[in-house]
Structure 1
Amino acid sequence: MTVSSLTQRVELPLPDIGLAAARVTFLKHGRVRYVVRAPHVRGTFVVIPQHFRDGPALPSSVVVQFGDGLDPQGAYYWRKHRPDEPVVHGVRLHGWTSSLHPDNLSDGYIDILGSYTHSLRGGALREIPRATQRRTETVIRAILGHWRSLPQLDQLRAAAARIHAAEYAEHAAERAAAAEAQLAQLQSERAQARRRVNALTGIRRRRPRALTPPRTHLVHLPLVDGHGRELGSISVREVAVSAEIAGAVVYEVSGARVHGRFTVGSDIYRAAPVPQGIWVAYGHATRTHFENERVHRPTVNGVTLSGGWNHDTSDDITPSTPDTIGARVETSPTTGHSAPAATERRAGAVVRALALHFLARKDLDALRLAAAQANAPSLLFETRRHLRSLAKQQAQEEKNAKRHRLRERELHALTAPHRDGHQSAPTA
């Protein structure tokens, strides 16, 4: 015998009111109909387990529908009354309750009726009087108290879940696959971060290499614009191998409408354990930032440059490429604008020439190692913090993948037949 063939007559205790007589009938899809008669109460209430796509495999919440019928709640909301809608204190109820958890209805602050409970008169939805609300809530508490004590409760929940079990199982499988893909990505990132920690630790332990002292004699460098056209030349003298910025060299530049100092070193923004890019600061830099504090900032075509240029690789630098460097002019300590086109053209030629001159140094590897050892403590700190974050994310994704796979199996079990050809739970 299936639960849908069972009907009972029960009495429901209503605190401070008395007893309600109810005829209880088990319907399709795990629904249970309560036809109630009590002081100032008559009509039909239907308890409907709610099965959500991302909720538990067996429904844990319900709605209580006012009136009979299997149509979806919204189908009747604006159109017409359901058959035998409850009448409480002379008010005919229309709609349904909020999502309710039957095990948690004792709290007086829980809004049992919610925003979908109204009366429907003349095609208009109207609010329920307060006395009607209180009595309706008492009846619903009694109904759900009885419902949760039913011996067929698990069968009712399974019957409700079975409607969309296959669809929701497929969704759970997709969620699990996404979590597993993210887990694989996180595992790869953790392995990469561990390799980075090992590399940085090794860099810190390496013995510093000797740096070549500044060469004070002038060197003449030709200038070429982004189209390969000659722009004359500049005279370059090394002022210092920077004591403040590891691995950087300060150059004094003059000639061809250019005068001032440039500080050239390794990439400061996307530094690998051993940086391979180029950083050119306008002026004699003693710190990588705070550009407005630099002295001897260069002028190009009579325009004083501000800031600098950073490039994360040195492989693509030639006398004419990159063709632009985004030269800027300062208007205040915190604002500026792009340099004029002629200034940008010549500044780009100077920066590229200095970058290539720096890259041709015999002690380039020693300069890069010095920069790497200066960067290593902060990079190690950031990488270890990133590793901890990745470990937390990985643990969470492992939980997510297991949870979704478990839900997938539980949902499939609801639709899987036994060997004798019957469903895994009685059909309701």
Structure 2
Amino acid sequence: MPLAGGKTLTARITALQHGRLRFVVRSAHIRGTFVLIPEHLRGGSVLPSRLRVQFGDGMDDCGYYEHRPDEPVIFGMPLHGWTDGIDPDHVSDGWFLGRYAASLRAGAHRQLTTTVRRRTEDVIRALVAHWRNLPNRHELLLAAARPKADALAVHEAELAAQAEDEAVELQGQRAAARRRLNVVTGIIRRRPRPIRAADPAPVRLPLVDYRNRTLGTITVREVAVNEDVAGTVVYEVHGARVHGRFTVGRDIYRPQSLPQGVHVAYGHARARYFEYERDHEPTVNGVRLDGGWDHSTTDDLTASTPDQLPAHVRLTRTTGHSAPAATARRASAVLRVLALHYLDRPDAEPLRLAAAQDMAWKHLNDTRQKLRDLRREQTAAERRARQHRAREQQYRALLASAAPGPDTALRRAA
């Protein structure tokens, strides 16, 4: 075999099990054994497409700190380890030895010198070129693939089953999204129901904490109904160390066609989302509060539950901290009683419908986009399932075919 610089390499070649070829080489300043191993990797091609070159003889795995028999010696420097990931059809013209190609002496690894490294790569190019031109190269690859075919077939079957389960789940999600689309379309088509205008008459409401201990009373007056934010009521509150406005409506942070919970904002809300500061933000125990409370359901709402609700004190436009415990206790009582007062309105359902219709077009567009995404994901999952099933069948076919013996056709090929 030709080497760079007009030199030649002589090798005695022996076919081993599992498609491996042993090259016992001799040349000027070169001697030792190289073994070319087709790499059959999980997730790779069904037939190996890369080669590993092992320095030294042997079929068994060997530790990185253990010598193999007849490890090559080049320019007086012994080689140890291996190099892998070599594409036999496109061997690099530059440096390509992997990190596990080294020299092992007295239990310590040393990097190869530049001269030894270049000559080693030249030898490997010659061996790979010979391997690439073997007439029975395909049989070598088949022999390398068969030992792992059963395990890889099982692996591909597992991946296929996962993809099939994912496709079924996505199909269910698509059905749920289509049902949601029908609900949103129905909400858009419903006729709005009458909503009562703001009633300026004051109403006195008692406050209790989470232990049902009285905290006094507040006077509540309606300021705006269904104006800036659909489905909401703005209340002005005075008394029991509480002064300011609160905006009460339905749950705004969950994509429900008909909102089920409740939302209470500190201050007079002018927009549904993302208000850093609102008009008439209330003071509780002399502390000005901002933010709000959003709850996903009204089933567990009483004058004393839930117990601890948000109470936030702003320091700057975008920073702040939690309110003192006594302030949070009183603010929680106010949030609960206002939510109950809002839900007790005779037009609570028309207000909920108004909130739903205000968000319906956004929900409609979001659901349509979700359907498109789910369809694309399901198609991809089904494609992966088909690919893994096809690979599984290819591995099964390798097991079913007759395996050529290493001492006949493969020796002849070598």
Fold shared, TM-score > 0.5 on shorter chain: yes
Aligned match of 1:238 in 201, 208, 222?
Answer: 222
SS at structure 1 position matched to 2:188: helix
Percent identity among equivalent residues? 55
Aligned match of 2:158 in 174, 193, 196?
Answer: 174
1:25 counterpart = 2:44: no
Taking the aligned partners of 1:134 and 1:380, their CA distance within structure 2 comes to 65
Contact kept? 1:291, 1:306, Cα under 8 Å: no
Aligned match of 1:112 in 96, 100, 108?
Answer: 96
Taking the aligned partners of 2:274 and 2:176, their CA distance within structure 1 comes to 33
SS at structure 1 position matched to 2:9: strand
Contact kept? 2:39, 2:50, Cα under 8 Å: yes
Contact kept? 1:30, 1:157, Cα under 8 Å: yes
SS at structure 2 position matched to 1:115: coil
SS at structure 2 position matched to 1:179: helix
Once the two structures are overlaid, the 10-residue window that deviates more, 130-139 or 236-245, is: 130-139
Tell me which residue corresponds to 2:402: 424
**2:18 partner letter:** H
1:87 counterpart = 2:73: yes
Contact kept? 2:163, 2:382, Cα under 8 Å: yes
Tell me which residue corresponds to 1:335: 319
Taking the aligned partners of 2:393 and 2:74, their CA distance within structure 1 comes to 44
In structure 2, stretches of 5+ residues that fail to align are 407-414
Taking the aligned partners of 2:224 and 2:102, their CA distance within structure 1 comes to 83
Taking the aligned partners of 2:271 and 2:380, their CA distance within structure 1 comes to 41
Aligned match of 1:71 in 55, 60, 77?
Answer: 60
1:358 Cα deviation after fit? 1.0
Tell me which residue corresponds to 1:14: 3
Taking the aligned partners of 1:200 and 1:150, their CA distance within structure 2 comes to 67
Tell me which residue corresponds to 2:290: 306
SS at structure 2 position matched to 1:375: helix
User: Could you give the per-residue CA deviations for residues 29-68 of structure 1, whole angstroms, max 9, x where no partner exists?
Assistant: 2111122233443322110111222322222111111221
User: Could you give the per-residue CA deviations for residues 393-420 of structure 1, whole angstroms, max 9, x where no partner exists?
Assistant: 223222322222222222233333xxxx
Contact kept? 1:20, 1:38, Cα under 8 Å: yes
1:385 counterpart = 2:369: yes
Contact kept? 1:413, 1:424, Cα under 8 Å: no
User: Could you give the per-residue CA deviations for residues 207-240 of structure 1, whole angstroms, max 9, x where no partner exists?
Assistant: 3222211112122222222122333322221111
User: Could you give the per-residue CA deviations for residues 96-133 of structure 1, whole angstroms, max 9, x where no partner exists?
Assistant: 1132111221x424x43222222333443222232332
Tell me which residue corresponds to 1:419: none
Aligned match of 2:340 in 347, 356, 361?
Answer: 356
SS at structure 1 position matched to 2:200: coil
Once the two structures are overlaid, the 10-residue window that deviates more, 355-364 or 111-120, is: 111-120
SS at structure 2 position matched to 1:403: helix
SS at structure 1 position matched to 2:366: helix
Taking the aligned partners of 1:291 and 1:190, their CA distance within structure 2 comes to 34
SS at structure 2 position matched to 1:114: coil
**2:296 partner letter:** D
Change beyond 3 A, Cα 1:342–1:291? farther
SS at structure 1 position matched to 2:236: strand
Taking the aligned partners of 2:101 and 2:278, their CA distance within structure 1 comes to 71
Tell me which residue corresponds to 1:212: 196
Tell me which residue corresponds to 1:420: none
Tell me which residue corresponds to 2:50: 61
1:326 Cα deviation after fit? 2.0
Structure 1 runs of 4+ with >6 Å offset: none
Taking the aligned partners of 2:78 and 2:276, their CA distance within structure 1 comes to 76
Taking the aligned partners of 2:350 and 2:152, their CA distance within structure 1 comes to 60
Contact kept? 2:277, 2:290, Cα under 8 Å: no
TM-score by length of 2: 0.90
User: Could you give the per-residue CA deviations for residues 321-349 of structure 1, whole angstroms, max 9, x where no partner exists?
Assistant: 11221222222222222222222222222
TM-score by length of 1: 0.88
Contact kept? 1:30, 1:48, Cα under 8 Å: yes
Contact kept? 1:319, 1:349, Cα under 8 Å: yes
1:190 Cα deviation after fit? 2.1
Tell me which residue corresponds to 2:355: 371
User: Could you give the per-residue CA deviations for residues 274-299 of structure 1, whole angstroms, max 9, x where no partner exists?
Assistant: 11211111111112345542122222
In structure 1, stretches of 5+ residues that fail to align are 1-11, 417-422
1:201 Cα deviation after fit? 3.0
Q: How many residues are paired up?
A: 406
Taking the aligned partners of 1:282 and 1:391, their CA distance within structure 2 comes to 41
User: Could you give the per-residue CA deviations for residues 294-315 of structure 1, whole angstroms, max 9, x where no partner exists?
Assistant: 1222222222221111111122
User: Could you give the per-residue CA deviations for residues 259-281 of structure 1, whole angstroms, max 9, x where no partner exists?
Assistant: 22111111111130111211111
Contact kept? 1:216, 1:238, Cα under 8 Å: yes
Change beyond 3 A, Cα 1:199–1:263? same
Tell me which residue corresponds to 2:140: 156
SS at structure 1 position matched to 2:195: coil
Taking the aligned partners of 1:207 and 1:247, their CA distance within structure 2 comes to 15
**1:103 partner letter:** D
